[in-house]
Structure formats: C-alpha cells, structure tokens
C-alpha cells in the first residue's frame, strides 16, 4: 500500500492550515497514495493558545478535513486539538476518508526537555488502529515514539504499520534521537513506521516560538527490520512510500521478538 507523508510548517491560523492539507492531499492522491499523513498540530502550531482554536470532532475544521479527504479520494490523518475538561484540550489525530473514521488522543504527553504539554493538554488512554484496503495501521503522536509498548500494542491488534505524526522539539541531539527512536520502534514491534514531522520553520523562512516544539523536519519511513527506507530534509516536502505487508510477515518469521516476549505480552 502506498502512503504519503506531507511535511509542512503549520501556522497559528487553522483556516490557512487547511489550505496546506488540501494541497498535500491532492498531491498525494495524484501520486497514487491511499493514505496521507500530516504532522501533529496541523490545525495550529504549538506556541499558539490552544483552547481558543480547539473544536470538537464534528466541528467545522474537522468537517472541512473530511470534505477534503472525500474530494481527493484518500484517507487523511492530521493533527488537531479537541476540547477537554478543565479548560484543557486533547492532542488528537483525526483519521478520515473513504471507509475510515477514527480519532486518537495522544497518550504520552511531552513533559520533558523543559516543556510541559500536560499544562494545557489532557492525556488520552485508548489505543486506536484503522483499516485501509485491508491493511491495519496504528496511530501514534510524537512523544509516543519513546514508549515501545504502544507500538507493540498496535502489532498485537494486527497492525503491520504505525503512522506517527509529530511536531518534534529542536535541540542538541534531538535529530539523532528522532531517527534512532523511529527505527527502534519499527524494529522492536516489527512494523513499518511512517513518521511525519513538522518541517523546520527556519528552513521555510518562518519565525516560530523558540520555546515550543515546532518541528525539525526529517520525516522518514522505517521498515519492519528497522532500516530507513526514505527520508526528507528539514524543508517542506512530500514523501511517498510503498509498504509491503508480506515483508512484515517475513521479518516476523525471522525475528520473532513479538512471539518470544515474556513480559507485556497481550493476553
């Protein structure tokens, strides 16, 4: 199955960001992709007050994403913010398009490297997968990549791939950690990991809030053997990848890490 990763820099205006999603969905569909994944915070960049822009899943912004997905004939996965109790929001991935309607709220919040996502965001608790053309795909967001149990849970539920939407924080060693973690999650769950980050704002001439995780680029696809199959640079771009279900089966036959687990195995 062909998927696309649309790496861009979102701004604070949800309406303008819809234009980026429309363009990315159209280009991905024209290239034959069945799924296009946009970054975390596609609705509005971090560094923006989130509560005022948050909308429910049946609100205008999500409905417009649904319309764009239908018009392009492709499944769209995009990061948005939905209202949560006590004035906070949920960091939500909306997955919508032909035969697909799901939402995942980020489970692991980015309370690290001097940033406290939990100050404004409520954590999710539910593992979510989607089925596209008979292929099961898990949903994950950014800081989730540091927690291998989520990716193994996707595999336990029959997923052969996980899509990871991110707005990765910049800093010393962070690019190296990004690649290492994406590859490690692919290898220890024996799944494809298709990881799309926000483009580095500086690469596109955008001035961003330096205190917020606004992306570094370098979206990538890692195979179930942990090897990087393709990667973008820091600037905006579209990455296309063909994910083989048969390769997952072959890797799992050789590297039986899921079958050989003694701890944390699904019952």
- Tens of pLDDT, residue by residue over 28-38, are 999 999 999 99
At 267 the pLDDT is: 47
What pLDDT sits at residue 193?
A: 98
Res 266: pLDDT: 53
Q: Three-state SS string across the chain, please?
A: CEEEEEECCCCCCHHHHHHHHHHHHHHHHHCCCCEEECCCCCCCCCCCCCCCCCCCCCCHHHHHHHHHHHHHCCEEEEEEEEECHHHCEEEEEEEEECCEEEEEECCCCCEECCEEHHHCEECCCCCCEEEECCEEEEEEEHHHHHCHHHHHHHHHCCCCEEEEEECCCCCCCHHHHHHHHHHHHHHHHCCEEEEEECCCHHHHCCCCCCCCCCCCCCCEEECCCCCEEEECCCCCEEEEEECCHHHHHHHHHHCCCCCCCCCCCCC
pLDDT-derived band at 206 (thresholds 50, 70, 90) equals confident
Whether pLDDT at 42 is above 90: yes
pTM of the entire predicted model = 0.96
The reported pLDDT for the residue numbered 265 is 66
φ, ψ at 244 (rounded to 5°): -95, 120
For residue 205, pLDDT over 90 is answered with no
Q: Known catalytic residues?
A: 40, 106, 142
Residue 64 has pLDDT above 90, yes or no: yes
Taking residues 105-126, what's their average pLDDT? Answer: 94
How much of the chain, in percent, has pLDDT values that exceed 70? 99
Dihedral (Cα; 107, 112, 116, 122), 10-degree rounding: 10
Q: What average pLDDT does this structure show over 102-111?
A: 97
pLDDT at 208: 76
Q: Look at residue 230 and tell me whether its pLDDT is greater than 90.
A: yes
Q: What is the pLDDT of residues 135-147, one digit of tens each?
A: 999 999 999 999 9
């Amino acid at each position: 199955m062909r998927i696309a990763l649309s790496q861009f820099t979102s701004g604070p205006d949800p309406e303008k960001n819809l234009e980026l999603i429309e363009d990315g969905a159209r280009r991905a569909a024209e290239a034959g992709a069945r799924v296009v994944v946009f970054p975390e915070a596609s609705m509005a960049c971090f560094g923006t007050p989130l509560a005022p822009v948050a909308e429910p899943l049946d609100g205008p912004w999500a409905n417009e994403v649904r319309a764009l997905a239908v018009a392009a004939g492709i499944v769209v996965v995009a990061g948005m913010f939905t209202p949560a109790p006590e004035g906070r929001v949920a960091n939500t991935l909306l997955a919508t398009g032909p035969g697909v309607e799901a939402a995942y709220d980020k489970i692991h919040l980015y309370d690290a490297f001097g940033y406290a996502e939990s100050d404004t965001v409520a954590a999710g608790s539910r593992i979510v997968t989607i089925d596209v053309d008979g292929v099961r795909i898990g949903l994950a967001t950014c800081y989730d990549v540091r927690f291998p149990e989520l990716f193994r849970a996707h595999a336990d539920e029959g997923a052969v791939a996980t899509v990871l939407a991110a707005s990765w924080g910049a800093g010393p060693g962070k690019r190296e950690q990004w690649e290492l973690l994406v590859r490690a999650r692919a290898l220890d769950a024996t799944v494809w990991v298709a990881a799309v980050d926000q483009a580095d704002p500086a690469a596109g001439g955008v001035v961003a809030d330096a205190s917020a995780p606004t992306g570094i680029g370098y979206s990538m696809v890692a195979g179930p053997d942990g090897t990087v199959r393709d990667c973008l640079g820091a600037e905006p771009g579209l990455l296309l990848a063909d994910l083989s279900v048969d390769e997952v089966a072959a890797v799992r036959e050789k590297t039986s890490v899921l079958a050989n687990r003694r701890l944390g195995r699904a019952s």
